[in-house]
Structures are given as C-alpha cells and as structure tokens.
Amino acid sequence: GLSRQTIIVPTGNTGRETKVTVTATTIDGLISARTDIVLANQPLGINFYKINPLQGIVYNQTIKADEVLEADRDEFTVIAESFFWPLSSLSNLKYNWVIADNEKVVSGNNPKILTIFSQGQTRAAAKVSLVISNPLKNLEAVRKSFTVLFASPL
C-alpha cells in the first residue's frame, strides 16, 4: 500500500482472543474496505532444532517433545527457540538446561545453544530438558525435553 502502517497489539497471557478491526481507504476516500482480524493467544513454547556441523541449523526438522534421537557423532548440538513470548519478556528470558537430572550452565555467548558429548562411552543416553522462564514474571515459564542416544559405530 501507499502508506503501510504497523501496529503492535499487546495481548498478554490471558488466553483470550484479541479482535483487531482494519480499515483501508483510498487517498481520495471514495473506496473503503474493512475487516476484522482475530488474534488467538498461543501458549508459550520451545522448539528444538539440531545443529549439523556442515548444514548449520536444521530448521525444517523440529525435535518433538520427549523424542528419542540418535546422535550420528560423539557430540550433539541443539538450539532452542522460544515462541509466543510477549515482546517485553524477550530480553529477560533465562535458559535452564538440565542433562540427566544435573543442571547445566551453558558457557559462551548464546544460552540457546547446547552441545552434549558422549565422553567416550560405547553407548549412552542423556535426557535433556530446558526451562525457559522470565524471572520478572512468575507465570511466564515453559519446559520441554528430549533424549539423545549415543551409539558407537560398528
């Protein structure tokens, strides 16, 4: 359009839908169109994606909740992406990774990325859980987990 407009609609986590009415009019005001858009709130979410050393982040294959994955190498790297968080919370998010019931502190610049190593074992499994939370708001938190199976090649 001639003068596109953007609006940010704060919906919060109330679970209710937000109705937005949009009206577009020609410059001379002779033609006008109007419609309603319903914005449905979504629950907070986490999506995990495998990071392949050659291909990078494999965004077309989401790791499902409680899925068991086989690592094809002695290390497994994953990235967590948070979804449906209020814009005001994004800068405050805290990532708590737990591997085999032990809390893991992620070093480096990006707490969204985790690399797990098999530590030379022939066969090993690691349950990985992540809790993303906003420490400034009690009700903003979500948890998701999956399992990585390391098996040495024959």
Residue 105 has pLDDT above 70, yes or no: no
pLDDT at 125: 85
CB atoms under 10 Å from CB of 18, counted, come to: 14
What is the rounded distance in angstroms from the CA atom of residue 146 to the CA atom of residue 67?
5
**Average of pLDDT values for 93-120?**
81
106 in Cβ contact with 78 (< 8 Å)? no
Indicate the SS3 state at residue 120.
Answer: coil
Q: Is 96:131 a contact under the CB 8 Å cutoff?
A: yes
37-48 mean pLDDT = 85
Given a cut of 90, whether residue 92 has pLDDT beyond it is no
Confidence grade of residue 130 (pLDDT, cut at 50, 70, 90): very high
pLDDT for residue 72: 79
Percent of the chain exceeding pLDDT 90 equals 30
**What gap in Å lies between CA 52 and CA 70, rounded to an integer?**
13
Per-residue pLDDT band at 7 (split at 50, 70, 90):
low
